Amino acid sequence: MEKFITLKDTAIPLMIENIDTDQIIPARFLKATDKEGFGENLFRDWRFDKNGNPNEEFSLNDKKYTGSILVAGDNFGCGSSREHAAWALKAFGFKVIVSSYFADIFKGNALNNGLLPVQVSKEFLDVLFKSILENPKSELKIDLGNQKIEIPGKNLSEKFEIDPYKKTCMINGYDDIDFLISRKKAIKNFEEKQLESRTSGQAQEV
């Protein structure tokens, strides 16, 4: 996994709430057996009309907005567990998603792919939207080490939360598989204990 430490870039606003993973990547594009190519179908039915022509009003098609940070409305990534949503956002070029709320499964999927979900207050989300709309060239800075998101030009910032273990993984580019495999002995011990309690008919309390 790619390492993530800090990022300073412009952002694209997506002022819609409850964006579900079916919008991020519609089910009809889930037929692939690898992780490639999902970027071109990101937000497919919002980016393009049914004839495949770009919808100019959609912010991802609006040339004045660029950058690897997506700032989206409340409850981003709800719905299906499809990790294809995180792959599509990543392949499109996003490195950070900012919202006032993330759905659980999406948040985990993003972190497992080096895509940083930054959860801010509703008030700060409004500040971010306002700042981007006013000046699409204004940059945001995300500092994972200090868990801080700021608008450098305006001296406005907010701290954000991240699980300390996941933070270490993001900063070092580790993933969970390596860690879990390193715990094989403890896992085996657990299995033996579980089997014992099951065959003896004892309650499986630990």
Q: Which residues bind other proteins (CB under 8 A)?
A: 15-18, 20, 22-23, 26-28, 30-35, 45, 50, 73-75, 78-84, 86, 101-105, 108-109, 112-113, 163-165, 175-177, 179-181, 183-184, 186-187, 190-191, 194, 198, 201-206
Nearest approach in angstroms of CB 151 to other proteins is: 23
**70 with 23: CB under 8 angstroms?**
no
Nearest approach in angstroms of CB 41 to other proteins is: 12
- Return the number of the residue (29 or 141) whose C-beta is nearest other proteins: 29
Nearest approach in angstroms of CB 198 to other proteins is: 8
84-101 b/e (C-beta count within 10 Å ≥ 16 → b): bbbbbbbbbebbbbbbbb
- Return the number of the residue (53 or 202) whose C-beta is nearest other proteins: 202
**95 with 113: CB under 8 angstroms?**
no
Nearest approach in angstroms of CB 25 to other proteins is: 11
- Non-local CB neighbours of 58 within 8 Å, separated by 6+ positions: 43, 46, 47
Sign for the pseudo-dihedral over CA of 93, 95, 98, 103: positive
Nearest approach in angstroms of CB 152 to other proteins is: 29
Pick from 135, 148, 169: nearest CA to 65:
135
Token pair recorded at residue 166: 């996941």
- Return the number of the residue (59 or 139) whose C-beta is nearest other proteins: 59
- Return the number of the residue (5 or 27) whose C-beta is nearest other proteins: 27
**135 with 155: CB under 8 angstroms?**
no
- Return the number of the residue (104 or 123) whose C-beta is nearest other proteins: 104
Nearest approach in angstroms of CB 8 to other proteins is: 27
Give the C-alpha separation, 104 to 75, whole Å.
10
Give the C-alpha separation, 33 to 72, whole Å.
29
- Return the number of the residue (151 or 169) whose C-beta is nearest other proteins: 169
